[in-house]
Structure 1
Amino acid sequence: MIQYAWLVPLFPALAFPAIVFITRRLKAFSALVGIGAIAASFVLSLGILWETLTSGVTMEKPVEYALSWLALPGAKEWVLKIEAGVLVDPLTAVMLLVVTLVALLVEIYSVGYMHGDPGFSVFFGYLSLFSASMLGLVLANNFFMMFFFWELVGLCSYLLIGFYFHKPEAARASLKAFVVNRVADFGFMLGFFYLFLLFRTFNFRELAEALPHAPHMGLLALAAILIFAGPIGKSAQFPLHVWLPDAMEGPTPVSALIHAATMVAAGVYLLARAFVLFASVPKVSWFVAYVGGFTALFAATIALVQRDIKRILAYSTMSQLGYMIMAMGVGSMTAGMFHLTTHAIFKALLFLGAGSVIHALHEQDIFRMGGLAKDMKVTTVTFLLGALALAGIPPLAGFWSKDEILLAAYSNGYQGLYILGTVVAFLTAFYMFRLIFVAFFGRRRAGLHGHESPKCMTIPLTILAGLTIAAGFVGAPFVPHGFSSWVYFGEPHHLEPNYFIMAVSTLVALLGIYLAWLIYGREVISPEALAQRWRSIYTVLYNKYYIDEAYLWFFRRIVLGLAEAFHWHDRHVVDGIFDGVGDTVRWSGHRLRYLQTGSLPVYALVFFAAVVVFVLWVATPVIGGIR
């Protein structure tokens, strides 16, 4: 099956033109083409994972095959050689399965959610292209090919976030995501081109073999920092996080796909694929860890006061991505990828559950909801399971993967990050059950009555809920030959279970749930009174620390100010110089044109005068000599 891995992205890639150019008018058939293509990729991914785990393919012994795409020979070696290739190892196999599974369930769910939308067929075409781009990124065997698909993912996010382009908010959000990610991607591009200048290759395996012989570690650190700019943008880490909350303007299935298994996961996957580079420069890894840890805390505090159900989940995604980046930085690729895998499942469940609520109520403000548990039982139960997993309650998936990150931070000497991660666990439990107690178990708001979504939406919710219960056991400490035996760096490892860390993380999560119940369930403590008492803090958090306003000020005052200065310089100085040259030529031409009158007598007179002047000039020295 591994030799056919290149077909995994090809199926949805072919579905895109088929839907857009052939079946666009046939909505049901367009959905069937899109779902059938990603289903074929899912089945093939299952086969690839099974063969990878049973045929001796490991992180040290991957399967790789490639074709030469562009080659420029030099005198002694290749000046430039770019491959189109496939690299399959357990990391690739796990990511292929995660992406295809979530994409398949999202597309099935979209049949009900997008029913009646005039852009129904185009939406499925975009989803197919999005899935193909992410799958191509995962399979790439070199930085150049990965960057090609990386940019395709960015294009698809622009198309899907701005799907309702007639809405100004959606148009602005798509443009914001596109511009912010281009800034980050420019750094990424500089980084891997810099590596090429150092080692003359884009290939991941060749780079891994050459890294120990790097000419200077400072140069390697610079390349690693530049490459890390890509994940800062794609995985919405501070300070390039601002696009992610606004991405909620797209249809909810898009949010589930972007925030669970595709775009935001690409940055974490890049860190895993280039882990050997970051492991070679410990100071850069330290920087990566603290960027992730800070983002986790930063986003969690903002989520505490948000009212929009999708924005709460968006900031939650940003916070959990911070966990994953932190895990990579503290030296545990296994923990980071394990949390990416489980998070993709329960975050897709939460976003699709939020979409079920929005589909029923046409409302996103949780404080305008209430009593949904009575009307939407399947949605309520599945959403509750997703929230418990996100909060880290055992034995659900999030508990195992989140604790693996906390244990890695603690064991590798990052006690400060361990404490920070534990605080984030408390905040996560609080803001998620704030949402639960208000929207699902709170007082029913007048005029709003929910109804359960159709089967095509509830079945994916049920499947994801089942996986949320079971998926974490793949990496549980007592499971032999589990996740840590497949996806690792250096050698397979499994940190010994630390029951103290397990107990503390579970306790703080339960305390967060209990506090949310006191404030929003029992209403023993008034949230309005708390907001009034801590008004300045509440205002800062509600306005997201004014980061967007700071960027807007910088753009208007600095960027546009510099642009205006350059514009003035161009119009008055540069244009003045060239206009002056032109005016001088024009003035000279205007004066010299009198020498060309077209009159023969004038030419004869000029010729005669010239002869006279010449004769006098020649004769003057002679006359002087006579004297």
Structure 2
Amino acid sequence: MTDFAYLIPLFPLIAFAVNLFFGHRLGSFSGWISVLTSVASSAIALPAAWVVAQGGQYSHEWLWLTLGNYDLNFGYLLDPLSATLLFVVTVIGTLIQVYSIGYMHGEKYYHRFFAYVSLFMAAMLTLVIANNYVQYFMAWEVMGLCSYLLIGFYFHKDSAANASRKAFLTTRVGDVGLFLGIMTLFVTGGTLSFVDLPNAVETGAPLLWLAAPLIFCGTVGKSAQFPLHVWLPDAMEGPTPVSALIHAATMVAAGVYLVARSFVLFTSFPMVMPWVMGIGTLTAFMAAYIALTATDIKKVLAFSTISQLGYMVTAMGLGGMTAGTFHLMTHAFFKALLFLGAGSVIHGAHEQDIRQLGGLFSKMKHTGATFVIASLAIAGVPPLSGFWSKDEILLEAYQEGHFVVYGVLLLTAFMTAFYMFRLVFMTFFGKARNPEIHAHESPALMTVPLWCLAIGAIFVGIPGSPFMDNWFQTFLTGEHHAAAIDWMVMGSSIAAGVLGIGLAAVLYLAKPQWPVAIANTFRPLYLLSVNQFWIDDIYSVLILNPFQAFGEFLFGFDRLVIDGLVNSSATAMQKMSKIQLWIDRNIVDGLVNLTGRGTVIGGDILKLFQTGSTQFYLLITCVSVLAFLSVELTSGFQELPLLREELYGISSFILDNIFPARWGGHNPFAP
């Protein structure tokens, strides 16, 4: 199957084309086309991943274009890291698409939804198996496009349209840094290939270190790390399966995968790693703290996703690439399950404000049971998957001597358990708060994927546990790592989870009046969480409002000055044109017309003399002669002696031929 790896992203791409052009005619079958092509990709990807798990690395490439003396090859790379992501994306992606058939039933743009999802699957799978940064970046940007389209799927709602625009622009900020990092790596290291990256690092080229923080900018944007995390909560405006697929399980994890893929670059420049660790730790704590007071079921999970991504990034900054990738895999299962469970609640109760919910477990047993399993997994309760992967990160921080980071992550684990079971208790247990909500269980198309993901949330962490001799770590690194249990770390982790769950039970089951009293007592801390550290407000004051004001200034300048000058010039030209039109009509055309009219009049006059009659011409000649004669007689023929001779000859001819009878023989013109 490794020889056919290039087909893995091709099948979803075909589904995208079919649904885009013919989906409106296929009806509900368009969803099954996406599912079937995803299954086809899985049929190649999973055996290929299994082959890689047996040991080995497989790649193939072909020439795409030549950049100077450098040949840029496109191809695929199958190694333990890409095999892990292939397993995650194909399995979870297929289950979410099956779920979507039931969830999106009856939607107006049903086929368009599955076209976008298939395009996303094609891009994500291309990114996973890409063997170079350019191919990776192209797939990365297509995923960003799909995110924009799916967040704004309900584009008729202003909130969805604004959220899609916010997500697109915010992540583009990080993508600019990623692009500059790739270019820096190419210019200084002379390569764009993942395989050749170790050789480029060994050259020790000047400014090569700059590529690492620039590439990390892409991770900050795509994986919603501080300070570019603000787009992910608003992205919940999209359909819930989108939140599960793109904004929890796969796409947002692509930023963590980018660091893992570039790990040799990051570890070669130790001064970069503390920044990675610091941003991840801050993001993990901050997002968990905000989730403590969130009331929208999807917003709670959104901030939880940001926090868990912070865990992964922290692990990368600590040098624990295996721990970060392990948590990426387990988190994909239980967070996809949580989002699909939230979608099932919204589908069955038509409400997503947890303050309006309550007592749903008796009406939605499948949804409730699977949601509790996922919550136990993310809370780090053993032996579920989240316990093993979270403990790997805590152990990494403790063993590396970063005790402050360890303490912050442990506190974050406590908050995670608390806010997740606050969500569980307020949604599925206790009394129904709104009697108008008549919830019902979701159809099998939605509940079967929930149970499949629940099985993954329980068991997918076992390969990385000490009981399996850290098989996952050996698989990723190719080196055997002896299993070791730090009972202090494990005990503190379990205690944090249990205490968080217990406190949530007290506040939201036993003493539901206490949360309001606590919020009033610790008002500043409560407002800090509710207002999300005022980060969006700070951005509005420092960035959005100034740019908006500057834009309005430019608009006014353009309207009053630029357009004013243009309009004034146009008005002046219009008036000048009117003057020119008057001159043209009355003077130029007047002279031309006068000349023509004079010619016509002159012609009419000349017509009177050009009759073609010989007698008329002789008459004219006679009259002319008589006229000359009268002039000569008046002047006494003194001034025109030559003319007199001519007249004499002409008059003699006329008198002799025309008036011979009356001619007396005496010519007055005789000399």
Q: TM-score range by the shorter chain?
A: 0.7 to 0.9
Tell me, yes or no, if structure 1 residue 29 matches structure 2 residue 29.
yes
Instruction: Determine the structure 1 residue equivalent to 2:454.
Output: 465
Tell me if the contact between 1:11 and 1:40 (Cα under 8 Å) persists in the aligned partners.
Answer: yes
Instruction: Determine the structure 2 residue equivalent to 1:437.
Output: 425
Query: Partners of 1:578 and 1:458 in 2: how far apart?
Result: 65
> Deviation of residue 512 (structure 1)?
0.6
> Deviation of residue 260 (structure 1)?
3.0
Query: Partners of 2:531 and 2:525 in 1: how far apart?
Result: 10
Instruction: Determine the structure 1 residue equivalent to 2:436.
Output: 447
Query: Partners of 1:578 and 1:226 in 2: how far apart?
Result: 44
Tell me if the contact between 2:470 and 2:481 (Cα under 8 Å) persists in the aligned partners.
Answer: no
Instruction: Determine the structure 2 residue equivalent to 1:47.
Output: 47
Tell me, yes or no, if structure 1 residue 146 matches structure 2 residue 136.
yes
Deviations 1:136-174 (CA, angstroms, capped at 9, x unpaired): 011111111100000000000001010000111100000
Query: Partners of 1:569 and 1:282 in 2: how far apart?
Result: 50
Instruction: Determine the structure 2 residue equivalent to 1:620.
Output: none
Instruction: Determine the structure 2 residue equivalent to 1:624.
Output: none
- SS of alignment partner, residue 499 of structure 2: helix
Identity of aligned residues (%): 51
Q: What does 1:464-483 correspond to in 2, within 5 Å? A: 464-480=453-469, 482-483=471-472
* More displaced stretch, 45-54 vs 422-431: 45-54
Tell me, yes or no, if structure 1 residue 17 matches structure 2 residue 17.
yes
Distance 1:111 1:214, change over 3 A: same
> Deviation of residue 22 (structure 1)?
2.0
Instruction: Determine the structure 1 residue equivalent to 2:186.
Output: 196
Query: Partners of 2:470 and 2:267 in 1: how far apart?
Result: 24
Counterpart among 202, 210, 213 of residue 200 in structure 2? 210
> Deviation of residue 50 (structure 1)?
1.1
Query: Partners of 2:191 and 2:560 in 1: how far apart?
Result: 47
Q: What does 1:347-362 correspond to in 2, within 5 Å? A: 347-362=335-350
Instruction: Determine the structure 1 residue equivalent to 2:65.
Output: 70
Deviations 1:114-152 (CA, angstroms, capped at 9, x unpaired): 111111111111111111111101111111110000000
Instruction: Determine the structure 1 residue equivalent to 2:173.
Output: 183
Deviations 1:285-339 (CA, angstroms, capped at 9, x unpaired): 1100110010000000000000000000000000000000000000011000000
Code of the aligned partner of 2:63? S
Deviations 1:379-419 (CA, angstroms, capped at 9, x unpaired): 11100000000000000000000000000111122111111
Counterpart among 89, 100, 108 of residue 90 in structure 2? 100
Tell me if the contact between 2:190 and 2:200 (Cα under 8 Å) persists in the aligned partners.
Answer: no
Deviations 1:32-81 (CA, angstroms, capped at 9, x unpaired): 21100001111211101111112x31xxxx322111111144xxx33xx3
Distance 1:48 1:481, change over 3 A: farther
> Deviation of residue 491 (structure 1)?
4.2
> Deviation of residue 212 (structure 1)?
1.6
> Deviation of residue 577 (structure 1)?
12
Tell me if the contact between 1:131 and 1:262 (Cα under 8 Å) persists in the aligned partners.
Answer: no
Query: Partners of 2:563 and 2:341 in 1: how far apart?
Result: 60
Query: Partners of 1:528 and 1:567 in 2: how far apart?
Result: 48
Distance 1:570 1:123, change over 3 A: closer
> Deviation of residue 24 (structure 1)?
2.6
Report 1 or 2 for greater relative contact order, CA contacts < 8 Å, sequence distance ≥ 6: 1
> Deviation of residue 563 (structure 1)?
4.5
Instruction: Determine the structure 2 residue equivalent to 1:587.
Output: none
Tell me if the contact between 2:189 and 2:205 (Cα under 8 Å) persists in the aligned partners.
Answer: no
> Deviation of residue 547 (structure 1)?
1.0
Q: What does 1:80-159 correspond to in 2, within 5 Å? A: 81-159=71-149
Query: Partners of 1:152 and 1:573 in 2: how far apart?
Result: 41
Tell me if the contact between 2:327 and 2:386 (Cα under 8 Å) persists in the aligned partners.
Answer: yes
Tell me if the contact between 1:275 and 1:333 (Cα under 8 Å) persists in the aligned partners.
Answer: yes
Instruction: Determine the structure 2 residue equivalent to 1:424.
Output: 412
Code of the aligned partner of 1:70? L
TM-score (structure 2 length as normaliser): 0.82
Instruction: Determine the structure 1 residue equivalent to 2:314.
Output: 326
Query: Partners of 1:169 and 1:181 in 2: how far apart?
Result: 18
Counterpart among 227, 240, 264 of residue 252 in structure 1? 240
Distance 1:325 1:492, change over 3 A: farther
Tell me if the contact between 2:150 and 2:238 (Cα under 8 Å) persists in the aligned partners.
Answer: yes
Deviations 1:87-112 (CA, angstroms, capped at 9, x unpaired): 11011011011001111000100111
Query: Partners of 2:558 and 2:106 in 1: how far apart?
Result: 52
Query: Partners of 2:306 and 2:66 in 1: how far apart?
Result: 40
Query: Partners of 1:467 and 1:84 in 2: how far apart?
Result: 33
> Deviation of residue 251 (structure 1)?
0.5
Tell me if the contact between 2:344 and 2:367 (Cα under 8 Å) persists in the aligned partners.
Answer: yes
Query: Partners of 2:202 and 2:550 in 1: how far apart?
Result: 44
Query: Partners of 1:98 and 1:233 in 2: how far apart?
Result: 21
Counterpart among 387, 399, 402 of residue 411 in structure 1? 399
Tell me if the contact between 1:83 and 1:145 (Cα under 8 Å) persists in the aligned partners.
Answer: no
Instruction: Determine the structure 1 residue equivalent to 2:216.
Output: 228
Query: Partners of 1:27 and 1:578 in 2: how far apart?
Result: 53
Q: What does 1:363-378 correspond to in 2, within 5 Å? A: 363-378=351-366
Distance 1:131 1:494, change over 3 A: farther
Query: Over alpha carbons, which structure has the higher Rg?
Result: 2
Distance 1:51 1:466, change over 3 A: same
Tell me, yes or no, if structure 1 residue 514 matches structure 2 residue 502.
yes
TM-score (structure 1 length as normaliser): 0.88
Instruction: Determine the structure 1 residue equivalent to 2:585.
Output: none
Matched pairs, number: 581
Tell me if the contact between 2:470 and 2:482 (Cα under 8 Å) persists in the aligned partners.
Answer: no
Deviations 1:508-547 (CA, angstroms, capped at 9, x unpaired): 1101111111100111661111111122221221111111
Query: Partners of 2:559 and 2:111 in 1: how far apart?
Result: 49
Query: Partners of 2:455 and 2:544 in 1: how far apart?
Result: 49
> Deviation of residue 233 (structure 1)?
0.4
Unaligned runs of 5+ in 2: 568-587, 589-671
Code of the aligned partner of 1:226? L
Distance 1:52 1:481, change over 3 A: farther
> Deviation of residue 558 (structure 1)?
2.7
Tell me if the contact between 1:106 and 1:257 (Cα under 8 Å) persists in the aligned partners.
Answer: yes
Tell me if the contact between 2:297 and 2:354 (Cα under 8 Å) persists in the aligned partners.
Answer: yes
Deviations 1:563-622 (CA, angstroms, capped at 9, x unpaired): 46667888999999999xxxxxxxxxxxxxxxxxx9xxxxxxxxxxxxxxxxxxxxxxxx
Tell me if the contact between 1:518 and 1:525 (Cα under 8 Å) persists in the aligned partners.
Answer: no
Instruction: Determine the structure 1 residue equivalent to 2:384.
Output: 396
Query: Partners of 2:462 and 2:147 in 1: how far apart?
Result: 32
Deviations 1:486-515 (CA, angstroms, capped at 9, x unpaired): 113x84535622111111110111011111
Unaligned runs of 5+ in 1: 580-597, 599-627
> Deviation of residue 31 (structure 1)?
1.4
Counterpart among 281, 296, 303 of residue 293 in structure 1? 281
Instruction: Determine the structure 1 residue equivalent to 2:529.
Output: 541
* More displaced stretch, 336-345 vs 518-527: 518-527
Query: Partners of 2:5 and 2:393 in 1: how far apart?
Result: 31
Tell me, yes or no, if structure 1 residue 502 matches structure 2 residue 490.
yes
Distance 1:373 1:200, change over 3 A: same
Tell me if the contact between 1:87 and 1:140 (Cα under 8 Å) persists in the aligned partners.
Answer: yes
Query: Partners of 1:336 and 1:494 in 2: how far apart?
Result: 18
Code of the aligned partner of 2:53? L
